[in-house]
């Protein structure tokens, strides 16, 4: 995994955002050149001197890790200030290349990751039952480090205003792609997708730029019909033509004690005369709803962690980890 030898440095006001947000949107590439967007908790992991940011995930999420291994270009969108530690209105997009995927030792998990998690996600549950139930959830963490290549900062959370670019210049256009063999039209009923996305406060669109890095932008949805969803951005950021793209709509509660996630992959079409409007045809859909309850969230987290960890062991996913 190659990256520039000169680290990207960012100022204090951007560092405040990177330190503050509880949930950010991770965008990574699919084998077909599309983008999947999912929520992750970065818990403030970053090294300004080295020019890196990080996040943790589970080894059980092997599909995500396999795709990142296959194509390590990713983006992290810092787009939601609620329950965080900053009132800044900036939308900050960090783009880069994954440089390490490691399973930290237990001492690091306990001393560093544990303390950070408590700060952002609340104190862990303790006791005979919870210690056993959450043992895998707290232990089975993978640390992903991203070497930053570019930071794009818009002055408004909706992506409006003149962007500031730190690092490599933004490329023109998007990755050239051929239409899918099954056609570009909707495979998920558009009005149903519009209704579901309308129930959450955050809606993001991701696609691959010409340089291979994912771009993630905030969108509003203004219509739905047989062509798909009409999506709009606050600025002219959409590349003309057609390409695979991902959409995430989500909300979350304090300490991520409950969440709603609406995740789509599909095809985006943008007219050359309007770089802030596109038609998004949803092809696949994944929905996750965890009620607003810390107890329910931890019960489900413990169950999911144990199940996915066993599946990861069976599939031999330890091969996805970097070896020291």
DSSP-derived 3-state class of residue 294: helix
> b/e map of 167-200 (b: 16 or more CB within 10 Å)?
beebeeebbebeeeeeebebbbebeebbebbeeb
CA dist., res. 53 & res. 244, Å (int): 26
For residue 49, the model assigns a pLDDT of 95
DSSP-derived 3-state class of residue 116: helix
For residue 254, the model assigns a pLDDT of 92
> b/e map of 65-77 (b: 16 or more CB within 10 Å)?
bebbbebbbbbbb
Please give the angle made by the CA atoms of 261, 51 and 263, to the nearest 5 degrees: 10
Distances (CA, A) of 93 to 33, 71, 170, 204: 20, 19, 12, 12
CA dist., res. 85 & res. 250, Å (int): 20
CA dist., res. 282 & res. 14, Å (int): 33
For CA atoms 273, 275, 277, 279, give the dihedral sign: positive
Fold of 12-319: Pnp Oxidase; Chain A (2.30.110)
Residue pointed to by tokens 């929520």: 39
For residue 253, the model assigns a pLDDT of 93
CA dist., res. 113 & res. 104, Å (int): 9
For residue 314, the model assigns a pLDDT of 72
What is the model's pTM? 0.92
DSSP-derived 3-state class of residue 11: coil
Spatial CA neighbour of 308 closest among 114, 43, 74, 65:
65
For residue 315, the model assigns a pLDDT of 67
For residue 312, the model assigns a pLDDT of 67
CA dist., res. 95 & res. 312, Å (int): 28
Structure tokens at 239: 């590349």
Which residues does the chain have with pLDDT short of 70? Answer: 1-5, 60-62, 312, 315-324
DSSP-derived 3-state class of residue 247: strand
Q: Could you tell me if 121 and 27 are in contact, meaning their C-beta atoms sit under 8 angstroms apart?
A: no
CA dist., res. 93 & res. 79, Å (int): 8
CA dist., res. 320 & res. 141, Å (int): 13
């Amino acid at each position: 995994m190659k990256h520039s030898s000169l680290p990207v440095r960012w100022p204090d006001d951007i560092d405040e955002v990177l330190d503050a947000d509880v949930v950010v949107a991770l965008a990574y590439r699919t084998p077909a050149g599309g983008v999947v967007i999912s929520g992750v908790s970065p818990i403030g992991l970053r090294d300004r001197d080295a020019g890196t940011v990080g996040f943790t995930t589970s080894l059980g999420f092997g599909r995500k890790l396999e795709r990142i291994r296959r194509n390590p270009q990713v983006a992290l969108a810092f787009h939601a200030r609620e329950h965080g530690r900053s009132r800044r209105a900036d939308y900050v997009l960090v783009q880069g290349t994954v440089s390490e995927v490691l399973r930290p030792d237990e001492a690091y998990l306990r001393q560093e990751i544990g303390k950070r998690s408590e700060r952002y996600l609340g104190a862990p549950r303790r006791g005979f039952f919870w210690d056993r139930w959450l043992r895998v959830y707290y232990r089975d963490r993978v640390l992903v480090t991203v070497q930053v290549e570019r930071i794009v900062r818009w002055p408004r959370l909706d992506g409006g205003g003149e962007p500031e670019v730190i690092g490599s210049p933004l490329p023109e256009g998007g990755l050239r792609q051929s239409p899918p063999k099954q056609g570009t039209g909707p495979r998920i009923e558009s009005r149903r997708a519009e209704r579901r996305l309308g129930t959450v406060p955050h809606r993001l669109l991701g696609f691959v730029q010409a340089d291979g890095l994912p771009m993630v932008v905030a969108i509003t949805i203004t219509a739905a019909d047989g062509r798909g969803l009409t999506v709009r951005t606050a600025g002219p950021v959409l590349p003309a033509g057609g390409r695979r793209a991902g959409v995430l709509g989500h909300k979350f509660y304090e300490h991520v004690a409950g969440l709603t996630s609406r995740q789509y992959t599909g095809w985006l079409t943008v007219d050359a005369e309007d770089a802030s409007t596109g038609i998004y045809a949803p092809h696949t859909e994944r929905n996750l709803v965890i009620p607003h309850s810390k107890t329910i969230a931890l019960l489900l987290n413990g169950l999911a962690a144990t199940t996915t960890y066993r599946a990861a062991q069976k599939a031999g996913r330890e091969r996805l980890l970097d070896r020291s």
